[in-house]
Homo-oligomer: A and B are copies of this chain.
Amino acid sequence: MFDYKLLAALAAVVEQGGFERGAQVLGLSQSAISQRIKLLEARVGQPVLVRAAPPQPTELGRRLLNHVQQVRLLEGDLQQWVPALDEEGAPERLRVALNADSLATWWAAAVGDFCAERRVLLDLVVEDQEVGLKRMRAGEVAGCVCASPRPVAGARSEPLGAMRYRGLASPAFLARHFADGVRAEALARVPAIVFGPDDQLQHRYLAELGVDGAFLYHLCPSSEGFVRMTCAGLGWGLVPELQVEGELARGELVELLPGRAIDVPLYWHHWRNGGELLGALGAHLLRYAGATLVPIAN
């Protein structure tokens, strides 16, 4: 069998983003962890890490990490029967990639009880869809919430439901720019707020109104910052309904064009052989999301 002390060293360096932190987590000196990585590389006959800041796994390193993650999950299954097998008696860690808006809205309430009951600690990674799936493929995460339905090799995907986004702005913003009502073509000439280069929601909203081409925008890569910027009247933007129930009820945000929405479907991606714990998390998420998100349109 593999020498898992060496594989654990590789996992610690990559997960902690450096040799020093990796060593700390394992309670080793930095030279001891370097030694283990070198020994691992000698055994497999090629590099497993690119020594950059932070260190990156090579192609082979990724495969090894993927294997370590799967072994850990399988150990987790076993542990409920023979807890003494786990050297540290530590809770299980699950590494999951998800989109920023899910983390800012329904995710915490969905997993709260599950994590408490099953003693699970989460390593959350915020990524938009393609990158999340890339991390899945690389074995860096055990599960992923994203808008793409297509699973990577060895994984499955299941529909969670859709997040409903509405085009919103502050009353002051509307009064300043649209005293006579919102006209679609005028929307492109006042600032929008866009989450990042991959956020096409504002483009879609305008395109569905028949407005194509360039428009003015602020870039704000933070879900909470996005809402605050919208409330402060910096621009209009597409915001998840779930995130601003209070702001809408209090009139701090209002709809640009009442009734118009964009639904973004979300899928839960997980390894087929991810073990019992990952399977239970998935079942839990599907149940909760089904009751919270809107149905995915066909």
Contact = CB atoms under 8 A, between A and B. Distances in A.
A225 B121 contact: no
A225 B21 contact: no
A208 interface: no
B218 A122 contact: yes
Contacts of A214: 25
B228 A124 contact: no
Interface stretch (A72-80, A103-111, A263-271, A277-285): A103-111
The bracket for how many chain A residues form the interface is 35 or more
Interface stretch (A41-49, A154-162, A231-239): A231-239
Given A115-B234, A197-B16, A109 B221 contact: no
A294 interface: no
Given A176-B116, A234-B108, A103 B224 contact: yes
Q: How many monomers of this chain does the complex have?
A: 2
Contacts of A224: 103-104, 222-224, 243
Nearest to A170: B112
Contacts of A217: 121
A105 B228 contact: yes
Contacts of A86: none
Nearest to A196: B17
A112 B197 contact: no
A222 B228 CA distance: 15
A111 B225 CA distance: 12
Interface in A9-47: 16-17, 21, 25
